[in-house]
Amino acid sequence: MAEIVLGFASSHGPTMNTPPEEWLELGKTDLDDVRYDFQAALDNAKPGMADELTSEKFQERYDAVQAGIRVVSDVLHEAAPDVVAVFSNPHGGVAPDRMQPTFGIHLNDPPPLTRASGAQPEPDPAKGGGDKNEYPTDGDLARHLMEGLIEEGFDVAASFQSRPGAGLDSAYNLLYQQFDRDVSMPYLPILVSRYLPNQATPRRAYQFGQAVRRVIERWDSPKRVAIMGSGGLSHQIIDEELDRSVIAALEQGDTEALFAIDRQRLNAAPGTPEILNWLACAGAMAPATMTLIDYVPCYRSMAGTGHGNTFGYWR
């Protein structure tokens, strides 16, 4: 039977790839983000924000993020999984003429064509990131999960790439952009919607992860499987208090605290619901608890916009 050998999770976003001297420029783009009220964020920003926006702070935090990436990469390659199941979500909202489910699985055998999103650019070949836009998948595991999750009581949507130019959001491919640049590990994209109204509760996201684990462990295969959460924590407005409370609950295995996350606060900034990907990963890895690698709040404007970059693993 298949064996789950590792769980890990990482933020994704521009502060992971953008040189620190350009972070203030990232902050300027937040003024025009129609998904939230920048002026309200400015009015409610924590005191001393100017101290968070120095070149020294930017460099220190950028270096910490790069160190976190290296640790995750080391942990992943030490575990040497045969396939990585990735919990994440598409970016950019949902087109009005398209369905988007709460949970879904990419079911194709051929590699899905991927595209860059505004939040996570494709690797730059000039910087050693490679020029691949197709990544290997595991159709056998995808079909097994689809059937097994329905048996578990989850009505999971199937994603088929059937038209030229269709593609998965590159949030799923953080695995290859940062941690497996040689593309040595096939992946399986699993959707956990971050959008309202079709957004799972924290409890349901955790339960979904638990069901994914049960189904994988019934898979008649000798393969070693890793579970990954891609996204989070709070962004585009940083909520350090929320982030630290979620991290503490993940470290302690405090499911009641995770289930009690206030949904209004979870949706106070457009990217923050990606925390649900971490809850799904935690559910899949229970009863193991998360080991925190680092939490790096990367501010980029006086309004407290930025990204609570976080790295952790379960094993």
Q: What domains lie within the chain, and their CATH numbers?
A: 3-314 (3.40.830.10)
pLDDT beyond 90 at 243: yes
The pLDDT value given to residue 130: 40
Q: What is the mean pLDDT of residues 200-224?
A: 98
Q: Does residue 231 sit in helix, strand or coil?
A: coil
Q: Across the chain, where does the E strand assignment appear?
A: 3-10, 83-88, 103-106, 114-115, 157-159, 168-169, 187-192, 224-230, 291-299, 306-314
Binning pLDDT at 50, 70 and 90, where does residue 125 land? very low
The pLDDT value given to residue 171: 80
Amino acid of residue 172: Y
Angle between helix 202-217 and 139-151 (nearest 10) = 120
Binning pLDDT at 50, 70 and 90, where does residue 69 land? very high
pLDDT beyond 90 at 68: yes
132, with CB counted inside 10 A (0-12, 13-18, 19+), is: middle
The pLDDT value given to residue 94: 61
The pLDDT value given to residue 100: 78
Contact 58, 20 (CB under 8 A): yes
pLDDT beyond 90 at 86: yes
pLDDT beyond 60 at 46: yes
pLDDT beyond 50 at 120: no
Q: What is the mean pLDDT of residues 78-98?
A: 84
Residues 146, 150, 154, 155, Cα dihedral to 10°: 80
Partners of 237 in beta bridges:
305
| Residue found under tokens 């996201």 | 205
Q: Which of 5-14, 113-122, 178-187 has the highest mean pLDDT?
A: 5-14
Of 82-91, 160-169, 286-295, 299-308, minimum mean pLDDT range: 160-169
Give the Cβ contact number of residue 171 at 10 Å.
Answer: 25
The pLDDT value given to residue 160: 64
The pLDDT value given to residue 173: 84
Q: What is the mean pLDDT of residues 126-149?
A: 75
CA distance 100 to 191: 10
DSSP character at residue 152: T
pLDDT beyond 60 at 164: no
Q: What is the mean pLDDT of residues 162-171?
A: 58
CA distance 267 to 208: 20
Q: Does residue 113 sit in helix, strand or coil?
A: strand
